[in-house]
């Protein structure tokens, strides 16, 4: 009688080891990191226009070589440098910023921005009832502080140098002795400088502080007009050094030599005056 082969029973153990692996954790961490990066980019794109341009410029040219975005500036939001080509853009950005200042509707007719050969001139004009400075006082009032702080936060992100000017009208100063329009105009310009440096303007950004008294009236035909009393901020154009590609032929072409100065010849005895 043939023996029956043994019956082999294979029992599979139910395992849950797949649920205890770590691969899914790595994938989840990558997903969370990507979502965080996305939210940061979306948040930056809803901030100021300078930052939007910086972020957009990075994605268009990550190496930063095509337009050299941010090559001459430091920090976030500082890829916007003011030149003659984009001064109008800065003017629009500053106008948007100061619209958020309290009492702007009352102050808007006393803020004037013009583009000049020197740069963007921002003038805070006084009225007959005083607007940014109380009468005879070198320190800005609350409205003046609000405007100067708002401007400082925007201008502090630029690499451009700034000049601050103080002006008065031709009305003689009737305050303390040995103190006149010259001192008042200079003190108001310095007070504006101090406040702005405490709220965004860098220490090395202010190039000049000038006090002109009544020597440069806004309305020369009306020297007593209140608008001649003003503080002016001048955002000067950024002078960029020439790129290596723009070198002169004498410097950029191989083999070219700079012209040598020819020594002057002494006059001959026949050429000397008798």
What does CATH list as the number for 81-236? Answer: 3.30.1330.60
Residue 137 to residue 184: CA distance in whole angstroms? 8
Q: Where are the domains of the chain?
A: 27-64+74-79, 81-236
pTM, 2 dp: 0.60
User: How many Cβ atoms are within 10 Å of 141's Cβ, its own excluded?
Assistant: 13
Q: Could you read off the pLDDT of 216-263 as tens digits, one per residue?
A: 999 999 999 999 999 999 999 986 544 444 444 444 444 444 444 444
Helix (H, G, I), strand (E, B) or coil at 69: coil
Residue 122 to residue 205: CA distance in whole angstroms? 16
Contact between 107 and 126 (Cβ < 8 Å): no
Q: Could you read off the pLDDT of 142-169 as tens digits, one per residue?
A: 999 999 999 999 999 999 999 999 999 9
Alpha helices in the chain (DSSP H): 23-45, 49-60, 87-98, 104-107, 142-155, 181-197, 249-252
**Strands 230-236 and 206-211: what pairing?**
unpaired
Contact between 124 and 143 (Cβ < 8 Å): no
Two structure tokens written together for 35: 């979502």
């Amino acid at each position: 009688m043939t023996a029956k082969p043994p019956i082999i029973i294979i029992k599979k153990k139910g395992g849950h080891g797949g649920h205890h692996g770590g691969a899914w954790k790595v994938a989840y961490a990558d997903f969370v990191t990507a979502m965080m990066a996305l939210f940061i980019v979306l948040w930056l794109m809803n901030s100021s226009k300078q930052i939007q341009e910086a972020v957009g410029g990075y994605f268009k040219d990550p190496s930063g070589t095509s337009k050299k975005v941010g090559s001459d500036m430091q920090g976030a939001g500082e890829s916007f440098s003011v030149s003659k080509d984009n001064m109008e853009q800065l003017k629009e950005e500053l106008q948007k910023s100061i619209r958020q200042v309290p009492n702007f509707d009352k102050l808007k007719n006393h803020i004037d921005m013009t583009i000049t050969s020197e740069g963007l001139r921002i003038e805070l004009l006084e009225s007959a009832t005083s607007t940014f400075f109380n009468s005879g006082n070198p320190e800005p009032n609350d409205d003046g502080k609000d405007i100067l702080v708002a401007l400082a936060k925007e201008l502090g992100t630029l690499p451009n140098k700034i000049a601050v000017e103080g002006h008065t009208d031709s009305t003689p100063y009737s305050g303390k002795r040995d103190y006149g329009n010259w001192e008042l105009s200079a003190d108001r310009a310095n007070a504006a400088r101090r406040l702005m440096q405490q709220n965004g303007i860098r220490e090395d950004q202010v190039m000049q502080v000038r006090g002109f008294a009544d020597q440069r009236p806004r309305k020369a035909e009306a020297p007593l007009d209140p608008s001649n009393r003003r503080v002016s901020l001048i955002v000067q154009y950024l002078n960029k050094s020439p790129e290596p590609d723009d070198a002169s032929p004498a410097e950029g072409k191989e083999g070219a030599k700079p012209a040598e100065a020819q020594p002057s010849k002494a006059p001959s005895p026949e050429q000397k005056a008798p």
